Amino acid sequence: MTRPRVSAGIVWSTSAPIPAGRAQLGLARAGGLDSFWAVDHLISPFPKAVWDPDFTFLAKKTSTPDEAYDFATMLGHLAGKAGRMRLGVGVTDPHRRHPALLAQTFLTLSHLTKRAPILALGAGERENLDPYGIEHSQPVSRVEEALQVLRACLDADGSVDFDGKFFQLDKAVMDLRPPRPDRAPQLWLGANGPRMLA
């Protein structure tokens, strides 16, 4: 009987000081973990009410958990130190980030890493959208369409045309390719509702 392979990774909230992210990556590598993930938040998943030095040592380094770094910039920064670890975002959304730009970001990351990066896409969280006036209607339909655009851009052989409800591409060029087929970005979904799970 073949046993399933289990991989373990670690998530960095990207709201801690940058040296803490580097240290966490180093510990993950030393521990033999398979992947290192960044979150994509404008507001930290940690509530300010618990941002206290008695609760977390990170509160000694910065006064707010909402000092959130951009995940793509941070993953690019950490790529040279990742070794064989896979880098990914868990998760981003197509409300704040256009799928063609996400394709470019992860194709770029595939040139900086030794293994295929992981782009995990979700329907978005209101905490990262509402305060900034970003539309959150029809989130699952938007994800579904974004996946079509992402796949078209990642697999492009020439220009890309797409005429959807949320996204339109007219002879859009995406000539950036991964350095090798096995380093092509992987698309994952973060889902919990019935439509997203389907």
Q: What residue spans define the domains of the chain?
A: 9-197
3-class SS of residue 59: helix
What kind of fold does domain 9-197 have according to CATH?
TIM Barrel (3.20.20)
pLDDT > 90? residue 22: yes
3-class SS of residue 8: coil
pLDDT > 90? residue 163: yes
Distance CA 153, CA 71 (A): 21
pLDDT (tens digit per residue) in 174-191: 999 999 999 999 999 998
pLDDT (tens digit per residue) in 130-160: 999 998 999 999 999 999 999 999 999 999 9
Distance CA 112, CA 106 (A): 10
What global pTM score does this model have?
Answer: 0.92
End-to-end CA distance of the chain: 29
